[in-house]
Amino acid sequence: MSFMETTGRQSPDEYRLPVATSPSWRAQATAIDPQLALGFTVSARCGCFMQAARSLNIKATLLRKQLAQLEAQLQCSLFSHCDSGMALSREGLQLQAQLIALAHERDLPVIEQPLVRLAVAESILHDILGRDLVALLRRNASVRLDIITLDSELALQAVSADVVVWLAGTESPLPGPSFAVSEPRRLARLDYQPHIAKRYSRTASRPDSLEDLADFLLVQWQSHRQVENFVPWNALVDQRLAGVVQLHSYELLLEMIRCSACIGLLPGYISRFDRGLIALPGLFGQPMQREVWMAVNAQSEGEAQVQMIVELIQNTFNERREWFES
């Protein structure tokens, strides 16, 4: 029976038989292709084809084909289904024991995955890249990824990473990373405006001048205080003798605006990320803009895992291009 076919309830006695140690099973285990053996042992260990495929960084359909090929080669069923899910058949238990014994004898090392260090501006990670990075990890459980958040120019200058995504002024990526990098790529230009939650501001009562802001609580992310292009907003905040909240967390900034009737400075795309937020245009006479840049460490830009992260970031920004078009 193929492991993909379902069976009725299996008796526990079927799986309590002693594991065979006959030379024939050992010989068959020795002759198995290493890739098929790895797929089988990981599936047996995980007890779930989907999780095993994630651990191996392959599609579940490919893993099932490999296991079917192995069953055809051995002319027996290695897996069966029971009430609690997938289980090894008697032959599967015998093969697992032999492969474990062979692995111990050969002292096979664990294949080390290269560590990829990704440094990202905190707001970009939260709003734009976070979802796609989660999807990457869902598909590839064996990846080694170190994600570093950048919340200031000082953090950008101090970081060491393989891929860096940061925010800078318009027209130039400077100041950028302090280590040698490839030619920086401009990913997007962001327009910043004050935002408020829709539920706290009816259309007729929304502020349309700086004077109208006097009755609203302003919330300021500390990371914005040193941004040269945000001088109009920062000057307004600094003039306040009351009604100001200073925050060191971007996520808390969003929560305050959503839930506390606050007004805060956010990128213009935020209403696409959270439809409960709305911009208040026309309050300032000059635009407040920043640009998103990406660069790759010159020493590791040729590595496959690094290129995988670079392509993911580039594709994410390409797919969200309409977010940044005013």
Are 182 and 301 part of one and the same domain? yes
Q: What percent of the chain has pLDDT over 90?
A: 51
Question: Given pLDDT bands bounded at 50, 70 and 90, which one contains residue 5?
Answer: very low
Question: Given pLDDT bands bounded at 50, 70 and 90, which one contains residue 253?
Answer: very high
Output the average pLDDT for the chain: 85
Are 214 and 284 part of one and the same domain? yes
CB distance 146 to 119 below 8 Å: no
Are 29 and 99 part of one and the same domain? yes
Are 284 and 310 part of one and the same domain? no
**Domain span at residue 170?**
115-189+290-323
Are 170 and 319 part of one and the same domain? yes
Indicate the pTM of the whole model. Answer: 0.69
Q: What is the CATH number of the domain that holds 315?
A: 3.40.190.10
Are 71 and 217 part of one and the same domain? no
Q: Domain ends where: 48, 78, 106?
A: 106
pLDDT tens-place string over residues 267-288 = 999 999 999 999 999 899 889 9
Q: Domain ends where: 47, 81, 106?
A: 106
Question: Given pLDDT bands bounded at 50, 70 and 90, which one contains residue 8?
Answer: very low
Are 176 and 297 part of one and the same domain? yes
Length of the chain: 326
Pairwise pLDDT comparison (239 vs 199), residue with the higher score: 239
Lowest-confidence segment of 120-124, 198-202, 262-266, 273-277 by average pLDDT: 198-202
Q: What is the CATH number of the domain that holds 37?
A: 1.10.10.10
Are 185 and 300 part of one and the same domain? yes
Structural domain count, the chain: 3
Reading the block at residue 247, the tokens are 């925050």
pLDDT above 50: residue 118: yes
Are 182 and 49 part of one and the same domain? no
Q: Domain ends where: 55, 87, 106?
A: 106
Are 303 and 171 part of one and the same domain? yes
Lowest-confidence segment of 65-69, 107-111, 126-130, 293-297 by average pLDDT: 107-111
Pairwise pLDDT comparison (261 vs 233), residue with the higher score: 233
Helix/strand/coil (H, E, C) string of the chain? CCCCCCCCCCCHHHHCCCCCCCHHHHHHHHHCCHHHHHHHHHHHHHCCHHHHHHHHCCCHHHHHHHHHHHHHHHCCCCEEEECCEEEECHHHHHHHHHHHHHHHHHCCCCCCCCEEEEEEEHHHHHHHHHHHHHHHHHHCCCCEEEEEEECCHHHHHHCCCCEEEEEECCCCCCCCCCCCECCCEEEEEEEEEEEEEHHHCCHHHCCCCHHHHHHCEEEEEHHHCCCHHHHHHHHHHHHCCCCEEEECCHHHHHHHHHHCCEEEEEECCHHHHCCCEEECCCCCCCCEEEEEEEEEECCCCCCHHHHHHHHHHHHHHHHCHHHCCC
